[in-house]
Amino acid sequence: NAGVTQTPKFRVLKTGQSMTLLCAQDMNHEYMYWYRQDPGMGLRLIHYSVGEGTTAKGEVPDGYNVSRLKKQNFLLGLESAAPSQTSVYFCASSYSNIPYNEQFFGPGTRLTVL
Amino acid sequence: AQSVAQPEDQVNVAEGNPLTVKCTYSVSGNPYLFWYVQYPNRGLQFLLKYITGDNLVKGSYGFEAEFNKSQTSFHLKKPSALVSDSALYFCAVRDTVLTGGGNKLTFGTGTQLKVEL
């Protein structure tokens, strides 16, 4: 099993450009999450999904959109990138509705917005 | 609301010495508590979790954590540190009284562990 994979690994954008980050998991997990990691702030939840076709806002959703058209994929979109969105983005997944199940993380995408 | 605090940005330990990385939490009900480790340029890896029962939880790579309800703490420990343990450690919490919400975790800001020879 590959676990959780993310593409791309690195990306540099100019302000105003758009892009999509792809997360894929092969563990048949129901729940998927997008986080951003910034120095001194830990991980903050951007959006999450509790199943195919569902999405919900997390702690810091502004400027991002997500889609979960297939159970194994969770896409994070930036419609008009801003320098404040420079960060490392992590995708994670977990089994359904058991609240103490751990989350499995992808390797991350390092995004720089100039 | 649920929250977690890691009071130390960095912990330095000599190899072979015991290590402790501190974590305190705040929840409305009872907590589910987790420790994750992040090596440079990698994603987070699960180390261990507390659900209920025995206050001492054993996890991967010789790590363990002690749950203390009266002090609302969940400190990570290892009896003998290795240089290879050097990494960023995150504590996370989920309140058991939360319903729905995708089993969201709240993470601490992380503690950088540096183990030196």
Asked whether the predicted pLDDT for residue B103 surpasses 80, the reply is: no
CA distance A102 to chain B (A): 7
pLDDT of residue B100: 60
Cβ A106–B43 below 8 Å, yes or no? yes
CA distance B10 to chain A (A): 11
CA distance A110 to chain B (A): 9
What ranges make up the beta strands (E) of B1-117? 3-5, 10-14, 19-21, 24-26, 31-38, 44-50, 56-58, 64-68, 73-78, 87-95, 106-107, 111-116
Banded model confidence at residue A1, pLDDT cuts 50, 70, 90: confident
A33 in reach of chain B (CB within 8 A): yes
Average pLDDT over residues B28-55: 93
Asked whether the predicted pLDDT for residue B101 surpasses 70, the reply is: no
Which residue of A41, A48, A102 is in closest CB contact with B104? A48
Cβ A107–B42 below 8 Å, yes or no? yes
Which residues of B have a CB under 8 Å from any CB of A?
Answer: 9, 32, 34, 36, 41-46, 49, 51, 90, 94, 96, 98, 100-105, 107-110
DSSP strand pairing (B56-58 vs B87-95): unpaired
pLDDT of residue B102: 63
Asked whether the predicted pLDDT for residue A2 surpasses 90, the reply is: no
A45 in reach of chain B (CB within 8 A): yes
What ranges make up the beta strands (E) of chain A? 4-7, 10-13, 19-25, 31-38, 42-49, 56-57, 65-67, 73-78, 87-94, 104-105, 109-113
Cβ A90–B109 below 8 Å, yes or no? no
pLDDT of residue A40: 85
Render pLDDT for B55-69 as a digit per residue (tens, 0 to 9): 999 999 999 999 999
Render pLDDT for A41-99 as a digit per residue (tens, 0 to 9): 889 999 999 999 999 999 999 999 999 999 999 999 999 999 999 999 999 999 876 87
Which residue of A44, A101, A106 is in closest CB contact with B103? A101
Q: What is the rounded radius of gyration, in angstroms, for the C-alpha atoms of chain B?
A: 14
Render pLDDT for A9-45 as a digit per residue (tens, 0 to 9): 999 999 999 999 999 999 999 999 999 999 888 899 9
Average pLDDT over residues B42-59: 94
Cβ B109–A4 below 8 Å, yes or no? no
Q: Could you give the CA distance from residue A37 to residue A93 in angstroms, rounded to a whole number?
A: 16
Banded model confidence at residue B28, pLDDT cuts 50, 70, 90: confident
Asked whether the predicted pLDDT for residue A6 surpasses 70, the reply is: yes
CA distance B36 to chain A (A): 10
pLDDT of residue B97: 67
